[in-house]
Amino acid sequence: MVTSGGNWAQLIKRANALAEQLNQRQQTVATAESCTGGGIGYLLTEIAGSSNWFNGGLITYTNALKQRLLGVSSEVLEQQGAVSSACVEQMARGAIAQCQSDWAIAVSGIAGPGGGTDEKPVGLVWMAISDETCCDSYQQVFAGDRSEVRLATIDFVLKRLIEKLKK
């Protein structure tokens, strides 16, 4: 298990670092969120001038919205579930298309306290980062309560996008 982390000051610092990278590259990002419920978009828009690099986001908490707004296939949802690599990758690609952005972040997980199984425990989160040519997905099991899982997810995925942009 990955220990949860990410206090608000740390997250703001991370969001500022992302803003700097996107501004330097003159690129934009969008979000497709499930278990974070818009938390990534909220954090990013805390940064003054975020309209220069944040195109928007979709909170698709239900499978029906994942399908309708982001183009997640019913086959993926039926066979692998919403908390899967295939789902978040389709969510990320859908966010790029819907928000006309250069990059997208997608997250779907089980923040708890209930809903977990032996196969997919509470704290399991799948995340994807995509541009138009490549989509990478990441799986983590975060420790902590619902809030801690959500904050750790935001911290993890922003850190990964910053690393990609620095390459």
Every domain of the chain and the residues it spans: 8-166
8-166 placed in CATH 3.90.1150.10: no
Distance CA 162, CA 22 (A): 9
- Tell me, what DSSP letter sits at residue 135? E
What is the per-residue pLDDT across 79-134, written as a single tens digit (0 to 9) for each? 999 999 999 999 999 999 999 999 999 999 999 999 999 999 999 999 999 999 99
Residues in the chain: 167
The pLDDT assigned to 54 comes to 98
Return all residues near 46 (Cβ < 8 A) that are at least 6 apart: 12, 15
Token duo for residue 50 = 């975020």
- The residues pairing with 106 across neighbouring beta strands, listed in sequence order, are 32, 128
φ and ψ of 157, to 5 deg:
-70, -35
Indicate if the pLDDT at residue 46 is higher than 60.
yes
Per DSSP, helices labelled H in 71-145 are 74-79, 85-99
Answer yes or no: are the C-beta atoms of 31 and 95 closer than 8 Å.
Answer: yes
Q: For the whole model, what pTM was predicted? A: 0.95
The pLDDT assigned to 7 comes to 85
